[in-house]
Amino acid sequence: MQDVSHSRVILRRLKQDATPSAQAASLIDNAAGMVVLDKRNPSMLLVEGQPELISAMVQRLNGWSAFPLATVERPDTRVRIVPTV
């Protein structure tokens, strides 16, 4: 069994005459190796899949572009008592 790398990518609709989001989501869901995780925003789709497949799909979608999903750790803001020596 080989290890397949999946990544999460945000697809953004950049042009007014771009492929409609419902059609784009349908194409992605019907493609092997990719899945739409979130399609609530009509201008953005959160997609998970193999990077090569996602890149190929973006080339097929007129007016869409891919951006890597970035996550940021929340800082620990709890107040701590520092012991004195």
User: Is residue 39 one of the residues assigned to a domain?
Assistant: yes
- Angle between helical axes of 51-60 and 21-30 (0-180°, round to 10): 140
Separation between Cα atoms, residue 7 and residue 10, nearest integer Å:
10
User: Is residue 2 one of the residues assigned to a domain?
Assistant: no
User: Is residue 51 one of the residues assigned to a domain?
Assistant: yes
Mean pLDDT of 57-72: 92
* Band (2; pLDDT cuts 50, 70, 90): very low
Q: pTM for the complete prediction?
A: 0.76
Domain count, the chain: 1
- In terms of residue numbers, what domain contains 30? 13-65
Which residues, 6+ apart, have CB-to-CB distance to 26 below 8 Å?
Answer: none
Q: Please write the tens of the pLDDT for every residue from 12-47.
A: 999 989 999 999 999 999 988 899 999 999 899 999
The answer on pLDDT for 71 being more than 90 is no
> How far is it between the farthest Cα atoms of the chain?
68
Nearest CA to 37 among 29, 50, 46, 28? 46
Token couple for 70: 């970035």
User: Is residue 74 one of the residues assigned to a domain?
Assistant: no
User: Is residue 23 one of the residues assigned to a domain?
Assistant: yes
The pLDDT value recorded for residue 4 is: 58
Q: State the DSSP code for 49.
A: E
